[in-house]
Structure 1
């Protein structure tokens, strides 16, 4: 240290270094967190399911089994209504497994297991794992466009061609969704019809749909699988191409065209005797 080395102004150097370190610990240390959050350098908490299992069911049904831990402050923990397609099949609380119908309101820390179609996990993240409030204008959750339930379903057919039957075209859009749901619609119910998905935004006390949203079902891009050929297959294709090319070039030479002039015949003269 400056004091032990006997440097000039050693005590001043030591005191200055001590004060700088003390100020750094007292002021700079506790400001690192707020500054990092302000600059967006904090790694966000992990969202999404704790576990995910893809299920192979008969036919074209694609479902997943998702396990969530209800995050504190999430919409579900605050009492947000849970859509029918997102209601847990099993809930674990304090080491006990119970049905969702017997649990009452979900609480932070509950582990829930949900069977859902494979296109809905991102929506579940907003309900169970995020603290963000579900906005009534959320395009992912309630559709990008608002649809008047009193409009004719025929207009829907004319605009998007979802393949409605003649009877369905005579209904209103609200009645069409209710019919597709088996006669009973609830908050956030979703009905997939061809290239569009109709989402129930709200219902009244009598169960009638008062608000609908429309979301265009994204079309999955066609996977382009590269075709790799072995050296033997490449050689076989080259040989086949050469053979076909030779056949095409030899065929015109071997066959004379119909309109070609006949080849001249040799003239054989008759011998005539002179008298």
Structure 2
């Protein structure tokens, strides 16, 4: 039997997230959602630093790096529901800290040096978010399907050149693009294999040479979430920015996210439904 009783700590953070939604998100959400330019609708300039001040932006990061050290997924879902009651898009900040924590604390993916560098940087910079860059013009949800043909999935490539990878291709509809300080980019490093064998995960900083950004996608609803095009034109990153082995494969990479994204997003939809009804 599962004990669904909330601990005092969970009740406290749930209440704090709800108060944040009341006092910070709801007063500006409608204004942002109705902005004529989708680039002006995003929540980050108005809310992200406030989230940082109360610990919501870094709640997933281990305490040793300066974060909140909250590891359990249920507490993340409680917070996601309350933030989404304010506006669904703001849950993206929670997803960002959860993803970077899961990826960089996975022993099979990250080194201690990578953890020390990027988790510390995340906590020290109140504007720091990440992207998880998979979606492309001709590949979206099938990246997560069983089909593993060489013609399926994303086609952005990375070729090793000495101590660097050279990336070419484009991503689109990726959350936080152009704002995120670090991009987790899924690339094909062996085009003779499908995405379960021929894919590698690279960390691409926002200032990497050859990385640029295109139009902000407009949407019907969910407009506070920033979705934008991302272009790689001989973009170079050091080999030390690779997570896990080359050609580790999408299933192996995403297994380290522990299904957190799906449950946190689901909790966010409950918050959205509460707001609607």
TM tier relative to shorter chain: under 0.3
The structure whose Rg is larger is: 1
Higher relative contact order (CA 8 A, sep 6+): 2
TM-score for the superposition, normalised by structure 2: 0.23
TM-score for the superposition, normalised by structure 1: 0.23
Q: Which has the higher helix share?
A: 2
